Amino acid sequence: MSESIRAICMPKWGLSMKEGTVAGWLMDEGDEISSGDEVMDVDTEKISSAVEVSESGILRRQIASEGDTLSVGDLLGVLADEDTSDADIDTFVAEFQANYVPPADDEEDGSTATETVDVDGRTIRYLLRGEDGVPIILVHGFGGDLNNWLFNHEALAANRAVYALDLPGHGASSKDVGEGGVAALAAVVNGFMAALNISKAHLVGHSLGGAVSLSVALNNADKVASLTLIGSAGLGTEIDGDYLQGFIGAERRKDLKPHVEKLFSDPALVTRQLINDLLAFKRIDGVQAALETIMAAFAPGGNQALVMRDRIGDIAVPVMAIWGSGDRIVPASHGEGLPGNVRTKIIAGQGHMVQMEAASDVNQLIDELIG
């Protein structure tokens, strides 16, 4: 019976998520659902997003209602075949609810536990999901951390190992950034791969992390199986220097919030908790100096110092550039007119954090590139 019935459960987005609130269903009971479809919107204390299903079937039962706050793993709905009886679904739901145990507040299961590795004397934090195959390495942007991939990491790990790391100066990694430029950060990514015996990887970089990934691909071609650049730096001089300086200098919520809102097409995604988390990060010893050092090397005077646009045509592996059309940090025009070896996708109506706001589209594009 249970093989023909599939549960839709509250997902876990990021390391700290314990629960989510149902904002509304996007599908009705009786609708045919395909793998990858978004079935409901869920709000968390950090961000809102759509729940994407990994299996196909008919939405036979909506268990959660709008406004319900449920723990990670709790039952949201039921997919089943057309010939599955209502009685069998009732039994499935009753058994699921009877056996479900919410995660403990202090629980950190193996699937979400971060690890660290020493890279040339620096401690680098990373999160590994999935296994086998040529792995993906996710490289975040300026002021971010591995949680910038919370809507991509698990989805991309369905068929392969996927690593997300904190660059030096960010997250829980060492705050020593050296001279802070793209080349210095690229050397850390190279060292990260060597320390974990990763001989070759698909690199996916966002913003500053895109320039870092591009540098690795250009200077260590044998280590890169494909390259995905998302709202990437390194392809033109323009960047919102006011955002970079404002992010560094802001010490209060009211000062930081307008800068962070520039990252998203929907400013409502910038929650109080997100701002509080960023302020807490900026108050860690060494962070302020690290960010200032990176900006001085990466974007002195508010313009990008290193432009690798004329070299991207030399990359022999598959390359893709993804942008949100409304990116206010790195203009989407940097994704236009690239050499013919680069697949370019501009996603309408999205901002700089397109991998979060249009996660399903971005994940599909990456999967298609990797094959």
For the chain, what are the domain ranges?
2-99, 115-370
Give the tens place of pLDDT for each residue, 183-223.
999 999 999 999 999 999 999 999 999 999 999 999 999 99
The domain defined by 115-370 folds into: Rossmann fold (3.40.50)
Eight-state DSSP code of residue 198: -
Strands 115-119 and 122-129: antiparallel
Q: What does 80-144 look like in DSSP terms, one character per residue?
A: E-TTS-HHHHHHHHHHHHHH--PPPTT---TTT--EEEEETTEEEEEEEE--SSSPEEEE--TT-
| 304 has a pLDDT exceeding 70 | yes
Q: Quick one: which H or E segment has residue 361?
A: helix 359-370
Query: Mean pLDDT over residues 333-351, rounded?
Result: 95
Kindly indicate the confidence band of residue 35, based on its pLDDT and cuts at 50, 70 and 90. confident
Distance, CA of 358 to chain centre: 10
Torsion of CA 129, 198, 195, 321, to 10 degrees: -70
In the structure encoding, which two tokens stand for residue 196, read together?
């974990």
Rounded CA gap, 100 and 262, in Å? 40
| 29 has a pLDDT exceeding 70 | yes
pLDDT for residue 112: 56
Q: Which pTM does this prediction carry?
A: 0.83
Contact call for residues 345 and 365 (beta carbons, < 8 A)? yes
- How much of the chain, in percent, has pLDDT values that exceed 90? 71
Distance, CA of 337 to chain centre: 26
| 54 has a pLDDT exceeding 90 | no
* Topology agreement, domain 2-99 and domain 115-370: no
> Which has more confidence, 304 or 71?
304
Kindly indicate the confidence band of residue 48, based on its pLDDT and cuts at 50, 70 and 90. confident
Question: Where does 2-99 sit in CATH, by number?
Answer: 2.40.50.100
In the structure encoding, which two tokens stand for residue 103, read together?
């995660």
Non-local CB neighbours of 147 within 8 Å, separated by 6+ positions? 14, 15, 171
Query: Mean pLDDT over residues 349-353, rounded?
Result: 96
CA dist 297 to 58, 179, 322, Å? 54, 7, 25
Cβ burial, residue 35 (10 Å; 0-12/13-18/19+): exposed
CA dist 90 to 83, 86, 231, Å? 14, 6, 46
pLDDT for residue 111: 44
Eight-state DSSP code of residue 66: T
Query: Mean pLDDT over residues 259-285, rounded?
Result: 91
